[in-house]
């Protein structure tokens, strides 16, 4: 394969990746808007995505802690309620 074929292949991969990322962000934003009942900003989607990528060690420690105050469901619910409260205050 010559250099132009390699560049074409790499360009195609970049284009497909960019399109896939854009579609995923758009889908996440739409689902958040449906769930929250109001418009969601791009910064909100980015913030939530970053929060969801929490350090695996922290997540693992919470999952393995069986005490009631550290249940994953309770932690996620509290974080979401806090975010909604801050968002509604805007």
Judge whether residue 10 has pLDDT over 80. Answer: yes
Query: Domain boundaries in the chain?
Result: 1-38, 54-90
pLDDT at 47: 72
pTM of the model: 0.46
Sequence-distant (6+) residues with CB within 8 A of 72 are 59, 62, 63
Task: Spell out the alpha helix ranges (H) of the chain.
Answer: 3-36, 42-52, 56-64, 72-88
Q: Is the confidence at residue 90, as pLDDT, over 60?
A: no
Torsion, Cα of 82, 84, 86, 90 (10° steps): 180
Q: How confident is the model at residue 16 (pLDDT cuts 50, 70, 90)?
A: very high
pLDDT tens-digit readout, 29-61: 888 888 888 888 887 777 776 666 666 666 677
């Amino acid at each position: 394969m010559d250099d132009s074929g390699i560049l074409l292949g790499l360009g195609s991969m970049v284009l497909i990746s960019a399109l896939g990322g854009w579609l995923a962000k758009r889908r996440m934003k739409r689902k958040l808007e449906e769930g929250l009942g109001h418009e969601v900003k791009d910064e909100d989607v980015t913030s939530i995505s970053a929060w969801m990528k929490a350090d695996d060690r922290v997540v693992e420690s919470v999952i393995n802690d069986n005490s009631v105050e550290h249940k994953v469901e309770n932690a996620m619910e509290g974080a979401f309620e806090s975010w909604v409260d801050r968002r509604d205050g805007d």
